[in-house]
Structure 1
């Protein structure tokens, strides 16, 4: 295989990797705390949920916020934590941040080169297809009420649409985010 074909194949793979819509990537950080033990109580932090970026009305609305809260509560309860309504009595305080950022992507397409590869060494017409999407990040924090110290954080980042706030998709997302919680 010559160098031109090798480069063409490499560019094709890079282009495909850039334009593919990836599943949510979840990152978790945790410190040791007795408050993270199974059976610990949790309540919503007294502060309001925090959002930054450019809101997408299909994603950031009262229905989506309610689904996020109830799904978070359900996922924490399935991990062995117990909901209490009074934050002053909880072992852990739960807070979340939603970050929405518009992004633009592009895909270079070749027409008329007839070499069978997306990027051909022969002359042809090329066009750039641009697309716009929303990059969403959800940060879920568990704060030790007694000390005010952050003891667990899960961050999920992916391209989002209005379909991502369905109960089914939120359940899958929050299950992935909370599966690293201790259950001893």
Structure 2
């Protein structure tokens, strides 16, 4: 074998993976700068510096896809869980880091690509199918409402006929001098 055959080409990272690593590297750099700035400015406590480092480390873990304490979603809630902090630390105290996180998430997602002709055709077909199914549903709903009204009218007519029959049976029984005994057939 020649040396060219011995070397293996490194697999190219997927585009999303490359963006995630770039976002993680940026988060690491910004986190280190912010932590160093927090150390240098003085009024902050060592706890603030530790929180900043924890948030930056959590960002790195989330963007590289290796969360330790959270589900790995790119949300502020997951970032706070991953950093071991309460969410309000990010939303009220470290708003700059929160904004950085949102910007990195948005940058990682990248621009949306335009639809291909085939995707556009499929979308149009699905829209037409949806419109057809909705029209069919509306037609069936209207027919069901009409049937319900017809059933209601028939029930009312049946009740009137049953009352008229009962009145006629009573009148017939009174004329014949016979007491009417109702039968137990489906009355």
Going by fraction, where is strand more abundant, 1 or 2?
A: 1
TM-score (norm 2): 0.25
Q: Which one has more relative contact order, counting CA pairs under 8 Å at least 6 apart? A: 1
> Highest Rg: 1 or 2?
2
Going by fraction, where is helix more abundant, 1 or 2?
A: 2
TM-score (norm 1): 0.25
